[in-house]
């Protein structure tokens, strides 16, 4: 597996290197040692799956606040998503910036999402399955989010029409008010 840093501070793309033969292929999707060699110290405590029936579904932009902030590794094993992260770490040189990438069953890419980042995605196909590993247990009392369409962030979602968004995700506050007063920085 290959680890490629991206423009956002501490975030990275993980590329699985499939070994193929007539039966199909095998890929390593997680290797603690490889990640640590790239400065990513990640202990998996929970794995989650999400299935989305319809293209255009947006889930996000979610995060947990300290002391339950979480690292994530997000992969798409069926269909395709446009995966997006926003750096909410006040001390980061990329604070307030976003990054998006297509993850699909075909491209063998995953996205490493560090603590202090908001995360969300838009499904690009029907019947999409997402798998993600997290470093912290889900703690509803520390769940937070920012609006998926916040003008201050300016995320450019690929699909613009017929969007499916939960009422909960429609009600997250704007970036400037959600982050104000929160301590999201957890160090480098």
In a domain, 24, yes or no: no
In a domain, 184, yes or no: no
Host domain of residue 111? 44-179
In a domain, 7, yes or no: no
98 Cβ partners below 8 Å, 6+ apart? Answer: 8, 84, 85, 86, 87, 153, 154, 155
Closest CA to 82 of 53, 103, 52: 103
- Where are the strands (E) in 27-116, listed by range? 46-52, 57-64, 72-78, 80-87, 98-104, 109-113
- Asked about 62 being catalytic, the answer comes back as yes
In a domain, 4, yes or no: no
CATH number at residue 148: 2.60.120.10
In a domain, 59, yes or no: yes
- CA 152, chain centre distance (Å): 19
- DSSP output for 133-164: EESS---GGGEEE--TT-TTT----S--SS-E
* Lookup: tokens for 175: 């970036």
In a domain, 68, yes or no: yes
Distance CA 104, CA 76 (A): 5
Cis amide bond preceding 67, omega within 30: yes
Cis amide bond preceding 46, omega within 30: no
Residues 79-93: pLDDT tens digits?
A: 999 999 999 998 899
- Asked about 121 being catalytic, the answer comes back as no
**Would the pTM count as exceeding 0.75?**
yes
Please identify which of the residues 82, 112, 121, 132 carries the catalytic annotation.
Answer: 132
In a domain, 161, yes or no: yes
In a domain, 39, yes or no: no
Please identify which of the residues 55, 62, 119, 121 carries the catalytic annotation.
Answer: 62
Q: In a structure prediction context, what are the per-residue pLDDT tens digits for the chain, which is 188 residues long?
A: 999 999 999 999 999 988 999 998 888 889 999 999 999 999 999 999 999 999 999 999 999 999 999 999 999 999 999 999 999 998 899 999 999 999 999 999 999 999 999 999 999 999 999 999 999 999 999 999 999 999 999 999 999 999 999 999 999 988 875 555 454 544 44
How many structural domains does the chain have?
Answer: 1
């Amino acid at each position: 597996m290959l680890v490629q840093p991206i423009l956002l501070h501490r975030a990275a793309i993980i590329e699985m290197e499939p070994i193929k033969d007539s039966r199909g292929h095998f890929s390593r999707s997680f290797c603690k040692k490889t990640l640590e060699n790239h400065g990513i110290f990640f202990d998996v405590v929970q794995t989650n799956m999400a299935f989305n029936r319809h293209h255009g579904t947006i889930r996000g932009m979610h995060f947990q606040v300290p002391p339950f902030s979480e690292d994530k590794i997000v992969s798409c094993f069926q269909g395709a998503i446009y995966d997006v992260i926003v750096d909410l770490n006040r001390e980061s040189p990329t604070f307030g910036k976003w990054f998006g990438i297509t993850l699909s069953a075909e491209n063998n890419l995953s996205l490493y999402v560090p603590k202090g980042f908001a995360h969300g995605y838009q499904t690009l196909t029907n019947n999409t399955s997402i798998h993600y590993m997290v470093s912290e247990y889900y703690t509803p009392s520390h769940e937070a989010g920012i609006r998926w369409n916040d003008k201050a962030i300016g995320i450019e979602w690929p699909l613009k029409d017929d969007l499916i968004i939960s009422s909960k995700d429609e009600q997250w506050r704007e970036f400037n008010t959600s982050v104000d007063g929160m301590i999201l920085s957890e160090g480098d």
